[in-house]
Structure 1
Amino acid sequence: MMTDLLTEAFKKAQNLPEDIQNELAKQLIQDIESEYQWQETLEQPQSSFLDELARKALNESSQGKTKKIGFDEI
């Protein structure tokens, strides 16, 4: 079921030129897909998520893609 606000937005959008409607639709689809990805990320156990970030950081470090800096350099 669509909310009243989303229904109103679609009603307003239908009066726009076709190229603008297509751009709005593309952006909305991208936003929806990003939201689904974000929700999936939040549903992962934190330890798994943090382990993945740690592995990525260690991998980048071993490939020389990182450099040591102090807190005052961030």
Structure 2
Amino acid sequence: MTESDLREIELAISQLSDEELVKFRTWFAEFDAINWDRQFETDVTAGRLDALADKALQDLGKGKCTDL
């Protein structure tokens, strides 16, 4: 995608009616969540979060965590 393409998208979004903007926000929130979940799963599978999980478990074992 070029910067020109991005500007066209931004312009199109800025011209949406209030109703269209609500629909766009709803669609984008769902789209973004799906992509975030996919990236998270990829990171978990690749072991990119293992160090963070290990640290959290160590902190839990040391009593450094509070219940939510």
Structure-2-length-normalised TM-score: 0.51
**TM superposition shift of 1:23:** 0.6
When Rg is computed on C-alpha atoms for both structures, the one with the higher figure is 1
- The answer to whether structure 1 residue 23 and structure 2 residue 23 are counterparts is yes
- Following superposition, which runs of at least 4 residues in structure 1 exceed 3 angstroms of deviation? none
What CA RMSD, in Å, does the superposition of the two structures yield over aligned residues? 1.9
Percent sequence identity over matched residues? 9
Structure-1-length-normalised TM-score: 0.47
Structure 1: state its 5+ residue gaps: 47-74
Give 3-state SS (helix, strand or coil) of 1:42's partner: helix
Structure 2: state its 5+ residue gaps: 47-68
